[in-house]
């Protein structure tokens, strides 16, 4: 009571005024620096931004195991085969069934549908020429040997190498011979059509064993060359520049005022987190946002599917693949097969590990992860944050991310879209 | 009549023979007592050893096992002197830590502090001495995981404030001086690198005919290199070629080069910091 009486109202209003003035001043100063600071990057950060920039994507790497990889006629032939559904058991499935060109070459399904349902999600094809290992488990070491997988898979094309050779001889003789030379003699009228060396289908396997060695070799050669033509086309599928790339391009010029409006403030904050505290570039690095390597990041396996060991399954498969870099169908010298020669064969280490996917165009192709476990980017980011520490790899430690920060990361991921480029 | 007898006689004879053969197969008096144990009979056939690994599987790091030892009459072996030696047959080395053995009675010996220092092919050698009888058994564990599955339980090394990035180093026991030159240089993420290394003795003489193995790690993560590099060529005059080196993450990496010659085995460690 006593205290109240002695209050000096004039004094109070003066202090109040001071406070108001202080806040006002403070907020204008803050806003001013913010405008400038948002584009302020350290030298090291700028280096990282440049390493992610599409401009640092080198020219297409050589493909020593496929000497037709850059042959324009092989590209044209491969493109036709890519779109041709005659290479399937029901005449309905082609590569584009699951890799539609108008959808980033990826369907939007958790699991792909061909003649049946696959056990994994379709992978995007942009920039795949830069990948040393193909498929989620890396069971193939070249694009041409990769292309030969889906054709004979009962749940994809449901076809055989023998049938493929027959389709090539019947419909692609001219185009084939222009690239690979004269087609070898093969009496296609009397071949068992459903013939392939596949232990899953005993009848087809038996039919394959009934062929002479010369016939098998001829069929394999035509089949391999078809794969090399498809690979020549798939190699041309590249990511197009995104808003993120425009931002880095302008950043490399000196006038920073031009940076305004390319990325929103949220997207820039997301980018800062992505290359900083959230540690995403531990794996999503380089201009394709992938290290091309295999990690078990703890994505839960769908309960309705059999357990998937990922890379631990891929290692023995690629080592024993009849079409790998060291096989007689490869054009590479032994020295040129470094990936296979120096591959880590530690299957225990790679149990449940899957290939880091590119994040270019990631917003355009939900669902996510190797079996489409998550239906939105929102779910993916919550997964990364909420993973219990005992399941979190040290390289996934991200400090604790707030909901706000997850939103910013998502905004950044949405700035990575650009129309793919491929051989027309 | 005679013929009628011969068949049963032959059968009897065969039966007798087979029982002899059985007895001769030896060790028939040794019995495995525990369902989940690994069972071995020692080299000279004096003892049987059952091994139970505490966590089900041996791992890189500290392990504990139980040994149950019986003699050829299936009696518990008590008061024996038991020794356990972890051994890497290909590498020809053991471990610096000594396992600690406690006798629990009734033929049970508890072995603690079995510290396996790296992944790979290990053998646990068990030596048993009871009175004047001495024998041993080896248990093979061909694929000990390099700690990868238990990484979150592993001790990870935080990055020191300063990392010595020099490309010339003495090996840890100072037997060799080693330098490397990388091609391409500077080192880039996700590309293959070939290292030309030079090995000298500490007094500057080139080291020839060395056996070399290469490994690497990110000490903050513990996941190792993405590839398995190898020494592919001895170039002469102390130079060697190492191919297949790759790094897939930005940050602090170490590369260990293990060198074996007649002057001894030693390891040199290089630090790298990749952006």
- Over residues B26-66, the pLDDT tens digits come to 445 788 888 888 999 999 999 999 999 988 788 877 889 99
Q: Are A151 and A161 in contact (CB under 8 A)?
A: yes
> CA angle A278-A280-A283, nearest 5°?
150
A interface mutation test: which of B213, B249, B252, B273 has the most A CBs within 10 A?
Answer: B249
pLDDT: which is higher, A20 or A239: A239
Are B192 and A338 within 8 A, CB to CB? yes
Q: Is the pLDDT of residue B25 over 60?
A: no
Q: Are B264 and B173 in contact (CB under 8 A)?
A: yes
- Over residues A336-352, the pLDDT tens digits come to 999 999 999 988 899 99
Q: Are B147 and B119 in contact (CB under 8 A)?
A: yes
Are A285 and B189 within 8 A, CB to CB? yes
Q: Is the pLDDT of residue B2 over 60?
A: no
Q: What is the pLDDT of residue A26?
A: 46
CA distance A344 to A198: 27
Shortest distance, CA A344 to any CA of chain B (angstroms): 5
Identify which of B190, B218, B223 has the shortest CB distance to residue A286: B190
Identify which of A48, A291, A342 has the shortest CB distance to residue B229: A342
- Over residues A111-127, the pLDDT tens digits come to 999 999 999 999 999 99
Q: What is the pLDDT of residue A36?
A: 55
What CA dihedral angle connects A150, A156, A159 and A164, to 10 degrees?
-40
- Over residues A349-361, the pLDDT tens digits come to 999 999 999 999 9
Are A292 and B275 within 8 A, CB to CB? no
If 0-12 CB within 10 Å is exposed, 13-18 middle and 19+ buried, where does residue B151 land? middle
Round the average pLDDT of chain A to a whole number and report it.
Answer: 91
The structural domains of chain A, with segments of one domain joined by +, span: 1-38, 43-57+240-306+354-416, 72-234
CA distance B127 to B109: 12
Domain A72-234 CATH assignment equals 1.10.760.10 = yes
- Over residues B87-99, the pLDDT tens digits come to 877 666 777 778 9
Chain A CB contacts of B148 below 8 Å: 346, 348-349
CA distance B95 to B29: 35
CA distance A278 to A385: 9
Interface of chain B against chain A, CB under 8 Å? 119, 143, 145-146, 148-149, 151-152, 156, 189-190, 192, 218, 220-230, 243-244, 246, 248-251, 275
Q: Is the pLDDT of residue A272 over 80?
A: yes
Percent of chain B with pLDDT over 90: 59
Q: Are A270 and A412 in contact (CB under 8 A)?
A: yes
Its CATH architecture, for the domain A43-57+240-306+354-416, is Orthogonal Bundle (1.10)
**A255 falls in which pLDDT band (50, 70, 90)?**
confident
Q: Are A147 and A231 in contact (CB under 8 A)?
A: yes
Q: What is the pLDDT of residue B150?
A: 46
**B10 falls in which pLDDT band (50, 70, 90)?**
low
Are B145 and A349 within 8 A, CB to CB? yes
Average pLDDT over residues B132-161: 72
**B19 falls in which pLDDT band (50, 70, 90)?**
very low
- Over residues A169-205, the pLDDT tens digits come to 999 999 999 999 999 999 999 999 999 998 889 999 9
Q: Is the pLDDT of residue B18 over 50?
A: no
**A269 falls in which pLDDT band (50, 70, 90)?**
very high
Within 8 A by CB and 6+ apart from A312, the residues are A137, A347, A348, A350, A351, A352, A353
Q: Is the pLDDT of residue B146 over 70?
A: no
pTM: predicted TM-score of the whole model, two decimal places: 0.77
Q: What is the pLDDT of residue B98?
A: 86
- Over residues A304-322, the pLDDT tens digits come to 999 999 999 999 999 999 9
Predicted complex ipTM: 0.84
**Could you write out the three-class secondary structure of A193-232?**
CCCCCCCCCHHHHHHHHCCCHHHHHHHHHHHHHHHHHHHH
Interface of chain A against chain B, CB under 8 Å? 44, 47-48, 51, 281-283, 285-286, 291-293, 338, 341-346, 348-349, 351, 389-395
B interface mutation test: which of A51, A295, A342 has the most B CBs within 10 A?
Answer: A342
Chain B CB contacts of A286 below 8 Å: 189-190
Percent of chain A with pLDDT over 70: 92
- Over residues B174-212, the pLDDT tens digits come to 999 999 999 999 999 999 999 999 999 989 999 999 999
CA distances from A171 to A77, A81, B8, B163, B217 (A): 11, 10, 75, 63, 53
Q: What is the pLDDT of residue A14?
A: 52
- Number of neighbouring beta carbons within 10 Å of residue B132: 5
What are the tokens at A36? Answer: 């400038």
The helix, strand and coil proportions of chain B, stated in percent and rounded to the nearest 5, come to: 10, 50, 40
Which domains are assigned to chain B? 30-144 (2.60.40.3340), 168-274 (2.60.40.10)
Q: Is the pLDDT of residue B1 over 60?
A: no
What are the tokens at A387? Answer: 């993973």
> CA angle B134-B139-B142, nearest 5°?
155
Average pLDDT over residues A371-384: 97
Q: What is the pLDDT of residue B61?
A: 77
Q: A72-234: same fold as A43-57+240-306+354-416?
A: yes
Chain A CB contacts of B247 below 8 Å: none
Q: What is the pLDDT of residue B173?
A: 86
């Amino acid at each position: 009571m006593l205290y109240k009486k002695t209050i000096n109202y004039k004094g109070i209003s003066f202090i109040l005024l001071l406070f108001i003035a202080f806040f006002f001043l403070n907020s204008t100063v803050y806003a001013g620096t913010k405008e400038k600071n948002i584009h302020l990057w350290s030298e090291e950060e700028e280096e990282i931004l440049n390493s992610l920039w599409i401009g640092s994507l080198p020219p297409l790497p050589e493909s020593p195991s496929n000497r037709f990889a850059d042959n324009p006629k092989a590209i044209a032939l491969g493109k036709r085969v890519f779109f041709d559904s005659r290479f399937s058991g029901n005449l309905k499935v082609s590569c584009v069934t699951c890799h539609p060109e108008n959808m980033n070459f990826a369907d939007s399904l958790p699991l792909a549908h061909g003649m049946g349902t696959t056990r994994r999600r379709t992978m995007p094809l942009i920039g795949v020429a830069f990948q040393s290992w193909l498929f989620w488990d890396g069971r193939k070491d070249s694009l041409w040997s990769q292309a030969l997988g889906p054709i004979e898979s009962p749940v994809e094309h449901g076809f055989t190498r023998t049938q493929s050779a027959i389709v090539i001889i019947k419909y692609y003789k001219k185009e084939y011979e222009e690239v690979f030379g004269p087609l070898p003699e093969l009496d296609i009228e009397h071949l068992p059509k459903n013939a392939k060396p596949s232990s899953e289908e005993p009848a087809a396997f038996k039919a394959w064993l009934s062929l002479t060695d010369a016939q098998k070799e001829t069929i394999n050669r035509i089949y391999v060359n078809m794969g090399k033509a498809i690979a020549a086309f798939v190699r041309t599928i590249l990511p197009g520049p995104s808003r993120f790339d425009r931002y880095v391009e302008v950043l490399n010029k000196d006038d920073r005022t031009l940076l305004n409006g390319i990325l929103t403030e949220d997207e820039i904050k997301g980018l800062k987190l992505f290359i900083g505290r959230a540690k995403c570039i531990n794996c999503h690095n380089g201009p394709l946002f992938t290290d091309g390597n295999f990690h078990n990041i703890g994505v839960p396996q769908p309960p309705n599917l059999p357990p998937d060991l990922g890379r631990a399954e891929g290692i023995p498969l690629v080592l024993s693949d009849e079409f790998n870099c060291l096989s007689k169908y490869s054009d590479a010298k032994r020295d040129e097969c470094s990936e296979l020669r120096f591959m880590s064969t530690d299957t225990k280490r790679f149990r449940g590990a899957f290939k880091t996917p590119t994040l270019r165009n990631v917003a355009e192709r939900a669902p996510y992860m190797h079996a489409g476990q998550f239906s939105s980017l929102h779910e993916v980011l919550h997964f990364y944050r909420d993973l219990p520490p005992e399941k979190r790899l040290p390289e996934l430690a991200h400090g604790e991310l707030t909901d706000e920060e997850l939103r910013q990361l998502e905004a950044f991921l949405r700035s990575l879209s650009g129309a793919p480029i491929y051989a027309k | 009549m005679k013929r009628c007898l011969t068949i049963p006689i032959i059968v009897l004879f065969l039966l007798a023979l087979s029982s002899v053969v059985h007895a001769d197969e030896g060790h028939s008096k040794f019995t495995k007592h525990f369902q989940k144990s690994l069972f071995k009979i020692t080299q000279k056939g004096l003892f049987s050893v059952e091994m139970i690994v505490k966590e089900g599987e041996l791992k890189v790091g500290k392990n504990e096992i139980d040994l149950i030892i019986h003699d050829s009459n299936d009696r518990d072996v008590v008061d024996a002197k038991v020794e356990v030696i972890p051994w890497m047959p290909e590498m020809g080395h053991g471990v610096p830590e000594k396992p600690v053995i406690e006798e629990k009675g009734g033929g049970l010996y508890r072995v603690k502090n079995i510290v396996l220092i790296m992944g790979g092919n290990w053998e646990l050698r068990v030596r048993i001495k009871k009175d004047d009888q001495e024998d041993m058994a080896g248990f093979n564990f061909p694929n000990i995981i390099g700690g990868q599955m238990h990484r979150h339980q592993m001790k990870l090394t935080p990055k020191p404030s300063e990392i010595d990035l020099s490309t010339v180093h003495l090996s840890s026991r100072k037997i060799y001086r080693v330098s490397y030159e990388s091609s391409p240089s500077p080192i880039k993420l996700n590309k293959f690198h070939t290292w030309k290394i030079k090995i000298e003795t500490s007094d500057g003489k080139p080291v020839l005919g060395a056996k070399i193995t290469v490994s690497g790690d990110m000490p903050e993560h513990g996941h190792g290199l993405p590839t398995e590099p190898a020494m592919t060529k001895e170039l002469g005059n102390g130079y060697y070629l190492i191919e297949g080196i790759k790094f897939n993450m930005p940050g602090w990496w170490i590369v260990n080069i293990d060198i074996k010659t007649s002057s001894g085995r030693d390891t040199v460690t290089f630090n790298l910091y990749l952006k």
